[in-house]
Amino acid sequence: MITALAGGVGAARMLRGLAEVMPPGDITAVVNTGDDTVLHGLHISPDLDTVMYTLAGAINAETGWGLAGESWRVMESLERLGGITWFNLGDKDLATHCYRTQRLNEGATLSEVTAELASSWGVDVRLLPVTDDPLRTRMQLVDGPEVSFQEYFVHLHHEVAVASVRFEGSASTQPGPRVLEALSGSDVIVVCPSNPVVSIDPLLAVPGVLDSLLARRDDIVGVSPIVAGAALKGPADRLLAELGFEPSVVGVAKWYAPWMGTLVIDQADSALQHAVEAVGIRCMVTNTVMSTLELSADLARTVLHATR
Ligand code: FO1
């Protein structure tokens, strides 16, 4: 049994690789919900959906989010009405948000709705929202107000400098059902190549999660989302720098070292292996760029052996 800590696109590719090399039913993914948002009255859980669609083989491979073969008729009509169109919701994807919102309004928990949606897509990896309670990542801009994560990421194209990040509501959250059990009971905990600041840190903000990880340090292996000083996707490199960490595998190692035993870095960063180890974390070097399913599976095999 393994448990993976997961954000969006990088995590989805890692999970797809893991599901190739071990029974999907033996994998639990604890997924970030700090990116969740409400638009048009609909509850949207981007990271849960990205992971679910990827594992179902239905993801839009070009964007890494949303469904393949989408149409955009609702967005076109919204544009004509002067509605909110900066966050692109495809027609088929909208059904997911309608269903989720309806079930939440009926009193179902996010964990229950997630299990229903995953089952409808034939996804056997157990997807657990880190919490069923409201958790919202908020970004304080250097030259501007505090904004929601999606306003920063999509509306502002993550092109603005960030002074600090907080996880609104975290103190009042409880871990989702079976989250702590998955962390304490799995053989290995894999930290997917997600953004440390805005994808993995929200998980740690949920009371009980960090303590569970600290107790498992030797069994935790992470994959760096930074390769050759740059994030493969998104603003991880800039966010690390803005928060005072090197935008490199060494910065990632420093961010994770208190609770992570092993960090897997890309071949392009092999010269930094000793610098990572100097932070007090074991370091393995391999190809971490998952441009094909085969490469995701290769990385998954390496990661699973890294703690043994
Ligand atoms: N990302 C974008 O860059 N632009 C979008 O318009 C957009 C829409 C969207 C809709 C549904 C969904 O599940 C994800 C979507 N994303 C979009 C991705 C999302 O904002 C980010 O990938 C994650 O929140 C970061 O992990």
* CA 8 to ligand 1 centroid distance, Å: 9
Confidence of residue 307 (pLDDT cuts 50, 70, 90): confident
Mean pLDDT of 264-268: 98
Considering only CA atoms, which residue is closest to atom 25 of ligand 1?
Answer: 8
Mean pLDDT of 81-100: 98
Please name the residues in contact with 160: beta carbons below 8 A apart, sequence gap of 6 or more.
141, 142, 143, 144, 152
Residue 66 is predicted with a pLDDT of 98
Spatial contact of 139 and 152, defined as CB atoms under 8 Å apart: yes
Residue 151 is predicted with a pLDDT of 98
Q: How many residues does the chain have?
A: 308
Pocket probe mutation, ligand 1, options 9, 38, 65, 121, max atoms within 8 Å of Cβ: 65
Mean pLDDT of 191-214: 98
| Torsion sign (Cα): 226, 230, 234, 236 | positive
* CA 141 to ligand 1 centroid distance, Å: 20
In which residue ranges of the chain is CATH 3.40.50.10680 found?
A: 2-135+171-305
> Is pLDDT at 76 greater than 90 in this prediction?
yes
Mean pLDDT of 71-80: 98
* pLDDT tens-digit map of 99-137: 999 999 999 999 999 999 999 999 999 999 999 999 999
Calculate helix-pair angle for 110-120, 91-105, nearest 10 degrees. 140
Please give the full DSSP string across 113-157, using - where no structure is assigned. Answer: HHHHHHHHTT--SEEEESBSS--EEEEEETTS-EEEHHIIIIIST
* CA 249 to ligand 1 centroid distance, Å: 25
Report the nearest atom of ligand 1 relative to the CA of 86. 6
Tell me how far apart the alpha carbons of residues 303 and 263 are, in angstroms, rounded to a whole number.
Answer: 9
Give ligand 1 pocket residues (Cβ under 6 A).
7-8, 35, 44, 46-47, 49-50, 65-66, 87-89, 93, 150, 153-154, 199
Least confident of 125-129, 140-144, 273-277, 303-307: 303-307
Residue 230 is predicted with a pLDDT of 96
* pLDDT tens-digit map of 6-41: 999 999 999 999 999 999 999 999 999 999 999 999
Tell me how far apart the alpha carbons of residues 126 and 119 are, in angstroms, rounded to a whole number.
Answer: 10
Q: Where does 2-135+171-305 sit in CATH, by number?
A: 3.40.50.10680
Confidence of residue 69 (pLDDT cuts 50, 70, 90): very high
* CA 19 to ligand 1 centroid distance, Å: 23
Tell me how far apart the alpha carbons of residues 238 and 247 are, in angstroms, rounded to a whole number.
Answer: 7
* CA 63 to ligand 1 centroid distance, Å: 9
Q: Which of 138, 147, 41 is nearest to 89 (CA)?
A: 41
Which two three-digit tokens encode residue 178? 């079976």
Residue 308 is predicted with a pLDDT of 62
